[in-house]
Structure 1
Amino acid sequence: MALYEGIALIQEKQAVVLDLGTDYTKFGFTGEAAPRCIIPSEYWCPTERRFKRVHDYKNEEELYDNLVHMLHLLYFRHVLVNPKERKVVVVESLLTPTLFRETLAKVLFLHYEVSGVMWADSARMCALTLGAPVVLVVSLGARDAEVVAVVHGCPVLQALQSQPLGARALHDELARLLDRDHGAELHLPERVLEDIKARACFVPSRQRALQLAGAGGEGGAAGVTPARGVVYTLAERSLLVSGAARELAAEPLFARDNELASLPDIVLQCIALCPIDARRELAANILLTGGGAALPGLRARLAQELRHLVTLPPYSDRLRIGEFKFHSAPAHENCAAWLGGALCGAADGGARALARDAFVRARRVADWPSLLHTTPPAHPHWAALASD
């Protein structure tokens, strides 16, 4: 046997990287440039005779069953590896519910008996792909839009912002516009709305959006020429997608109200809550990630909105920023967090992974909102927290 073959036999196998999103799941190996599979976060439920989403659960037992079936699909149909032989890097949001994290840990350690699991937050993983010390990560997921400032490898938790401005908000607006154009409720399924958004919708400039708003969203009434409509073919009939629907579907991201909860607002609020010496650098290192970030024109429109809002109160009194710059992720926007997890897992080598025997003894997963894991062991109340 050649020497290099013997070394390969004793080396530890590549860990797998799991990014279990609300709508789509990315799964692959560390050290690789792209996931092996990107599939919907659902599985065929034999008892209910339908496709069931992983995140649709009522209690811990139902979530446990969902995760067991989903991981079985990933391990034994898409990548064909033995879960006991490989560690796992779990890429997740900072706002992932504790119940979901602990249940996923039980499934991985007790059901599939993996040797170790490392949890990595998606914001730091996205910043890792750039190699920049200060990055403002704007993630547009299926349900929420999250803005996290990563300063020298640490997320600024006090500045974290989140609003329900994900893909579902765009789908609801697109469905409303299509119903208005056709004069009836179409009741289009989520997958059809997503396909129409990906194929036909785009984000106009700020000036054109104001013109369309002045024309009542129709165009023509104020001298605004609407975009060309397209025909979307369904299985049973064809559907006309008007130019107004194509352009205005993403307007919920920029609609302002008294709570200042639009996407540009939460970006500026996150910057304003960060240390003053990092604000300019954060504005110059913005990274858009998530499936919603792939919408054409979104980056340019967000830059225009930020340059406009920073001159208005309450931001004009706190921020002295005149320029906003955006990074281009080294991977597709929806895979940036997964790629960071693959890089982190390859560089770490599993040293920071929670071992299976340690989890079996304590049955606890370190979580930043937990007082037990944020309180020093020398604190007088630590023993009482550990006993709870």
Structure 2
Amino acid sequence: MALYEGIALIQEKQAVVLDLGTDYTKFGFTGEAAPRCIIRSEYWCPSTRKYKRVYDYTTPEELYDNLVHMLHLLYFRHVLVNPKERKVVIVESLLTPTLFRETLAKVLFIHYEVSGVMWVDSGRASALTLGAPVVLVVSLGARDAEITAVVHGCPVIQAIQSQPLGARAIHDELARILDEDNGTELHLSEDVLEDIKVRACFVPSREKAVEWLERGVASEVREVRGAGGAREGGGARVPVSRRARALAAEPLFARDNELASLPDIVLQCILQCPIDARRALAENVLVVGGGAALPGLKARLAHELRHLVTLPPYRERLGQLQFKFHSAPAHDNSVAWLGGALCGAACGAGGGAGAAGGGAWAGEAARGLARDAYARAPRLRDWPSLLHNTPPHHPHWALQ
């Protein structure tokens, strides 16, 4: 039996799991608890002689070249495997542009000749790590904050909320405050701003934030982040005030007439869900993404939600909800990747229809496509599309 199991392990190769984020990419194997590598979503461009981001493109051809170089870096430098021998699990947002997902599929199937690809949406992948039937996933990425309600393995499409309240919003506010404190435009790069945010910034309580916004932060407290902080490219130290450290994340919670703050879109997502699922969603909140690791953010979000439900327009419909937060089983920035790894391990990672042998959760969350099927019809099914459940001769196919 031991010899037989060893042979099976040799013959069955683990699929690779790809979570290609705006700023960082997670890459590893199914069935593992953490990705093998977390690297920036960029590569060294030989023509321009500088690093180029994958998402910096203007034409489909440029995007194709970016993805070819990025995947080459992942396969042949970081995990050292042959792409033809491994199926691929792609973790993506439900709001991913069609051009990007179709170009990525073209690169995998045609350029790297992978045998099969399975797509897993990030909301259900994150909820899968908890095993709870109802989960409200709050994903804080580089550009956007995306709220997805997962009810019994299905995302509520009409309730999805997205606003530009990601890490870039924090970086912009941090740069503005630093320019005001120093009396000049520092022109700090994204790398320096991220370094300052990670090393020094935090999210204060709601009472402290209101007090500091009204009366100001004590100006005598001023820190220079030297060996324990950020440095500019020329080696000059960047002075970081207490005001910059404490108020950089306030754009996430600033309310306006459009009710587009982070707590507001969380409550709006719950409002647009079925009424019998709202209480369970409020009691099963999961905050994921790189922005979720900012100290104090989850506690501040919980406090803001409990405060807003007592105010109009939420008081009458959501006033009785109790908000409870889950602790993610992995680091906040790799929860979606872990869900993709679990789903790929349960479903066999991508051949044919996708979910043979997996549980109901994994089967609903995954959509697979084999290379021969893609060669016959190079068309990807969109997430809200039900054509894959429609008979081949149904009139709806003629409308596509």
How do 1:21-36 residues align onto structure 2 when only pairs under 5 Å count?
21-36=21-36
1:105 aligned residue: 105
Contact 1:283 1:321 in 2 (8 A): no
Distance 1:325 1:228, change over 3 A: farther
Counterpart check, 1:185 vs 2:179: no
| TM-score after normalising by structure 2 | 0.91
How do 1:75-86 residues align onto structure 2 when only pairs under 5 Å count?
75-86=75-86
Matched to 1:113, the amino acid is E
Paired with 2:342 and 2:389, the residues of 1 have a C-alpha distance of 27
Distance 1:252 1:110, change over 3 A: same
Matched to 2:104, the amino acid is L
Counterpart check, 1:311 vs 2:316: no
1:241 aligned residue: 240
Counterpart check, 1:361 vs 2:361: no
Deviation at 1:127, TM superposition (A): 0.2
1:154 aligned residue: 154
Contact 1:367 1:373 in 2 (8 A): no
1:348 aligned residue: 347
Deviation at 1:319, TM superposition (A): 1.4
Matched to 2:223, the amino acid is G
Matched to 2:155, the amino acid is P
Matched to 1:96, the amino acid is T
How many pairs are equivalent?
378
Question: What is the aligned-residue identity percentage?
Answer: 75
Deviation at 1:366, TM superposition (A): 1.1
Contact 2:140 2:291 in 1 (8 A): yes
2:364 aligned residue: none
Counterpart check, 1:229 vs 2:223: yes
Paired with 1:99 and 1:243, the residues of 2 have a C-alpha distance of 43
Does the residue aligned with 1:318 lie in a helix, a strand or coil?
helix
1:255 aligned residue: 254
Paired with 2:392 and 2:318, the residues of 1 have a C-alpha distance of 39
Counterpart check, 1:381 vs 2:396: yes
2:209 aligned residue: 209
Deviation at 1:379, TM superposition (A): 4.2
Paired with 1:264 and 1:5, the residues of 2 have a C-alpha distance of 51
1:8 aligned residue: 9
Contact 2:42 2:53 in 1 (8 A): yes
Does the residue aligned with 1:236 lie in a helix, a strand or coil?
coil
Deviation at 1:146, TM superposition (A): 0.2
Distance 1:226 1:338, change over 3 A: farther
Contact 1:200 1:230 in 2 (8 A): no
Moved over 4 A (4+): 225-228, 369-379
Distance 1:346 1:280, change over 3 A: same
Paired with 2:94 and 2:23, the residues of 1 have a C-alpha distance of 17
Paired with 1:211 and 1:320, the residues of 2 have a C-alpha distance of 26
Distance 1:293 1:227, change over 3 A: farther
Deviation at 1:321, TM superposition (A): 2.9
Paired with 1:35 and 1:214, the residues of 2 have a C-alpha distance of 44
Does the residue aligned with 1:174 lie in a helix, a strand or coil?
helix
Contact 2:45 2:52 in 1 (8 A): yes
Distance 1:42 1:372, change over 3 A: same
Structure 2 unaligned blocks of 5 or more: 355-367
Contact 1:226 1:244 in 2 (8 A): no
Deviation at 1:196, TM superposition (A): 0.3
Contact 2:16 2:30 in 1 (8 A): yes
Deviation at 1:3, TM superposition (A): 3.5
Matched to 1:366, the amino acid is R
Distance 1:364 1:272, change over 3 A: same
Contact 1:368 1:374 in 2 (8 A): no
Matched to 1:7, the amino acid is A
Paired with 2:317 and 2:394, the residues of 1 have a C-alpha distance of 37
Contact 1:145 1:166 in 2 (8 A): yes
Structure 1 unaligned blocks of 5 or more: none
Distance 1:374 1:186, change over 3 A: farther
Distance 1:153 1:233, change over 3 A: closer
Distance 1:36 1:226, change over 3 A: farther
Paired with 1:147 and 1:244, the residues of 2 have a C-alpha distance of 29
Paired with 1:280 and 1:227, the residues of 2 have a C-alpha distance of 43
Paired with 1:327 and 1:382, the residues of 2 have a C-alpha distance of 42
| TM-score after normalising by structure 1 | 0.94
Deviation at 1:76, TM superposition (A): 0.2
Matched to 1:367, the amino acid is D
Paired with 1:83 and 1:51, the residues of 2 have a C-alpha distance of 24
Contact 1:227 1:247 in 2 (8 A): no
Matched to 1:304, the amino acid is H
2:325 aligned residue: 326
Does the residue aligned with 1:299 lie in a helix, a strand or coil?
helix
1:219 aligned residue: 217
Cα deviations by residue, 1:255-282 (Å, 9 ceiling, x for unpaired): 0011000000000000010000110110
Paired with 2:93 and 2:144, the residues of 1 have a C-alpha distance of 11
1:337 aligned residue: 336
Paired with 1:340 and 1:371, the residues of 2 have a C-alpha distance of 23
Contact 2:195 2:230 in 1 (8 A): no
How do 1:113-192 residues align onto structure 2 when only pairs under 5 Å count?
113-192=113-192
